[in-house]
């Protein structure tokens, strides 16, 4: 049996996206900047894609910029807003402790340039408190950046409330919506954001392509110089096949969203209920306000990488926030931020499902995961100490 | 997964000498749960020979494989020879480890030394501290000082 349960890492490309990709690569392969009719035909497709992406987000096509993906979009939005703020003497940036590294590392870079960066804590449920965010906003604040949904624990942030706060204070608001777009409804006007980042491969589109929504009037400076593409904001010949693939994938994701969410919520309920029966474990992130595909747990007394390797042997592709899977000494910053101590954060497991997963997949995972957890605990000195009362259970 | 060599995966999937020795003559525990690795080594000693070795490990694939390999390399050997086991030898026997996993083999070396040291101490056997530089400096290796409690 093979179960792919790592859709938050990346997804299989949708057949409709592959067809759109192929058509653009084989038929409308000309450069959209070329004057000849073949180029103009490519430009028409590019324009149509921009309109479709804009419609999907309730934005204006002039507010959509195609990029290489979520990381580039996050980088460009944050750097643009920060540097525009600095020109007016505003050098404070507010974000959260659970952002993706595309946001955190960009903020760290700005901090080294002299910006003040405030990372708000989140509650044990993984949700940021809008009131404490509002208290941090002052006249020096250039930007607030809060992700729409978390990649590790799936929690959905109160972005509409945060958007309203930012609007009230006249502060730019960026949201990293990489995990949300194509999975839950995303409306830039309802959120009230100035920037929104998305990535195609998270919703069945090609890898290496994404988009940045930048509201009309929001400062935007290029990361890449060298041409007039994307209204001078992103040089380089447009990757039309990928853009066409992304557009097809997003349209289909949105069309199927109702049915997919229903299936994923059902599988999630079953997975959470089943895994909760394992002794001394805990669900990470809010039980209700989470992406339908995300199930994240910590199991006490075991380490995540060995869990992943054994699940892989059983044909299950999953992920973990343990230190050993990150190549660093510390476990996931997200798990630490929701109050999981190191000892249990190392024993985390993330299962992220997609529309192709079935009830049988979940049954199989619920058969294998408890087995593997019990096996690893059987020779874990930590588990032995816990069982003998030499160490207190945390979960 | 091709992250690890076949040898590492073999020892990870089928660890040798797993478990505990109830009436062990020496027990050594190194690492800490905060860092994500704890190794516990149990030894039986007769006439200066390691007649039995068992281990328990909380940790990643390479930590489990390193423990398993270390027990296999010292079982049946004289204590003096067990003390010469190096992390390099464990790593080589495993067919190599990714650079950021080398500390797992260091833990295995430390666990062996810690168990032998415990045996010496229990039996009031004089020992040369130079033979236990790893086990004695284990506190410098664990990461209690980093990051603080969260």
CB contact under 8 A, A381 and B29: yes
Higher-pLDDT residue of B35 and A359 is: A359
Q: From chain B, pick out residues whose CB is under 8 angstroms from the CB of A336.
A: 150
Q: From chain A, pick out residues whose CB is under 8 angstroms from the CB of B58.
A: 301-303, 380-383
Nearest CA in chain A to B41: A381
Residue B40 domain-assigned?
Answer: yes
| Tokens 């040089």 -> residue | A235
Residue B148 domain-assigned?
Answer: no
| Domains, chain A, with CATH or none | 3-8+257-387 (3.90.1150.10), 15-252 (3.40.640.10)
Complex-level ipTM: 0.91
Whether residue B18 lies within 8 A of chain A, CB to CB, comes out as yes
Residue B112 domain-assigned?
Answer: yes
Nearest CA in chain A to B27: A381
Q: Which of B8, B28, B30, B36 to mutate to test the interface with A (most CBs of A within 10 A)?
A: B36
What's the domain range around B20? 6-141
Q: From chain A, pick out residues whose CB is under 8 angstroms from the CB of B40.
A: 381
Active site residue B137: no
Residue B1 domain-assigned?
Answer: no
Residue B150 domain-assigned?
Answer: no
Nearest CA in chain A to B37: A303
Distance from CA of A100 to the nearest CA of B (A): 20
For residue B148, what pLDDT is reported? Answer: 30
Checking if the pLDDT of B140 tops 80, the result is: no
pLDDT confidence band for B149 (50 / 70 / 90): very low
Whether residue B40 lies within 8 A of chain A, CB to CB, comes out as yes
- Interior CA angle at A62 toward A57 and A67, to 5°? 75
Mean pLDDT of all residues in chain B? 88
User: A49 near A241, Cβ under 8 Å?
Assistant: no
A197, β-bridge pairs:
A176, A212
Residue B146 domain-assigned?
Answer: no
- Interior CA angle at A337 toward A138 and B34, to 5°? 145
Beta strands across the sheet bearing A281-283? A281-283, A294-299, A348-352
Q: From chain A, pick out residues whose CB is under 8 angstroms from the CB of B150.
A: 336, 341-342
3-class secondary structure for B76-124?
Answer: CCEHHHHCCCCHHHHHHHCCCCCHHHHHHHHHHHHHHHHHHHHHHHHCC
For residue A296, what pLDDT is reported? Answer: 98
User: Which CATH number goes with the domain that contains B132?
Assistant: 3.90.1010.10
Q: Which residues, given as ranges, of chain A have pLDDT below 50?
A: none
Nearest CA in chain A to B65: A306
Residue B102 domain-assigned?
Answer: yes
CB contact under 8 A, A381 and B40: yes
Of B12, B18, B35, the CB nearest to A309: B12
For residue B147, what pLDDT is reported? Answer: 32
CB contact under 8 A, B33 and A342: yes
CB contact under 8 A, A322 and B36: yes
Residue B12 domain-assigned?
Answer: yes
Domain count across chain B: 1
């Amino acid at each position: 049996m093979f179960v792919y349960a790592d859709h938050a890492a990346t997804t299989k490309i949708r057949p409709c996206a592959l067809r759109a990709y192929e058509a653009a690569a084989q038929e409308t392969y000309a450069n959209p900047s070329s004057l000849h009719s073949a180029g103009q035909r490519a430009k028409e497709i590019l324009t149509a894609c921009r309109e479709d992406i804009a419609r999907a987000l309730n934005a204006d096509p002039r507010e959509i910029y195609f990029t290489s993906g979520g990381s580039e979009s996050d980088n460009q939005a944050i750097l643009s807003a920060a540097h525009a703020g600095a020109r007016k003497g505003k050098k404070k940036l507010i974000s959260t402790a659970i952002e993706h590294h595309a946001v955190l590392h960009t903020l760290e870079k700005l901090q080294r340039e002299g910006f003040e960066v405030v990372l708000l804590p989140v509650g044990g449920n993984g949700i940021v408190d809008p009131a404490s965010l509002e208290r941090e906003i002052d006249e020096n604040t250039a930007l607030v950046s809060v992700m729409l949904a978390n990649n590790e624990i799936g929690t959905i942030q109160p972005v509409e409330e945060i958007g309203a706060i930012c609007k009230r204070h006249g502060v730019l608001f960026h949201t990293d919506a990489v995990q949300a777009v194509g999975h839950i409804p995303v409306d830039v006007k309802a959120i009230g954001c100035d920037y929104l980042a998305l990535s195609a491969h998270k919703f069945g589109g090609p890898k290496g392509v994404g988009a940045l929504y930048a509201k009309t009037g929001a400062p935007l400076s290029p990361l890449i110089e060298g041409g007039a593409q994307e209204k001078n904001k992103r040089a380089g010949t447009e990757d039309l096949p990928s853009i066409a693939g992304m557009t097809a994938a997003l349209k289909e994701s949105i069309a199927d969203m109702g049915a997919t969410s229903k299936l994923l919520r059902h599988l999630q309920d079953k997975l959470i209920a089943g895994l909760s029966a394992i002794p001394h474990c805990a669900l990470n992130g809010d039980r209700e306000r989470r992406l339908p595909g995300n199930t994240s747990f910590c199991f006490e007394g075991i380490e995540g990488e060995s869990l992943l390797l054994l699940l892989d042997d059983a044909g299950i592709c999953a992920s973990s926030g343990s230190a050993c899977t990150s190549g660093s000494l510390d476990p996931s910053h997200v798990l630490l931020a929701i109050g999981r101590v190191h000892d249990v954060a190392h024993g985390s497991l993330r299962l992220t499902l997609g529309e192709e997963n079935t009830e049988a997949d979940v049954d199989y995972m619920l058969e294998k995961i408890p087995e593997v957890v019990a096996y690893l605990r059987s020779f874990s000195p930590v588990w032995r100490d816990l069982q003998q009362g030499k160490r207190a259970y945390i979960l | 997964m091709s992250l690890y060599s076949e040898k590492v995966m073999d020892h990870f999937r089928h660890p040798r000498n797993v478990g505990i020795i109830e009436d062990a003559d020496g027990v050594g525990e190194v690492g800490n749960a905060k860092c994500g690795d704890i190794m516990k080594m149990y030894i039986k000693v007769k006439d200066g020979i390691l007649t039995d070795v068992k281990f328990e490990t909380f940790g990643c694939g390479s930590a489990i494989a390193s423990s398993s390999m270390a027990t296999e390399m010292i079982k049946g050997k004289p204590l003096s020879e067990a003390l010469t086991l190096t992390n390099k030898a464990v790593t080589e026997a495993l067919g190599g480890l990714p650079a950021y996993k080398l500390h797992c083999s260091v833990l295995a070396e430390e666990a062996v030394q810690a168990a032998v040291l415990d045996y010496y101490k229990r039996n009031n056997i004089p020992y040369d501290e130079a033979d236990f530089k790893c086990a004695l400096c284990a506190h410098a290796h664990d990461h209690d000082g980093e990051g603080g409690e969260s």
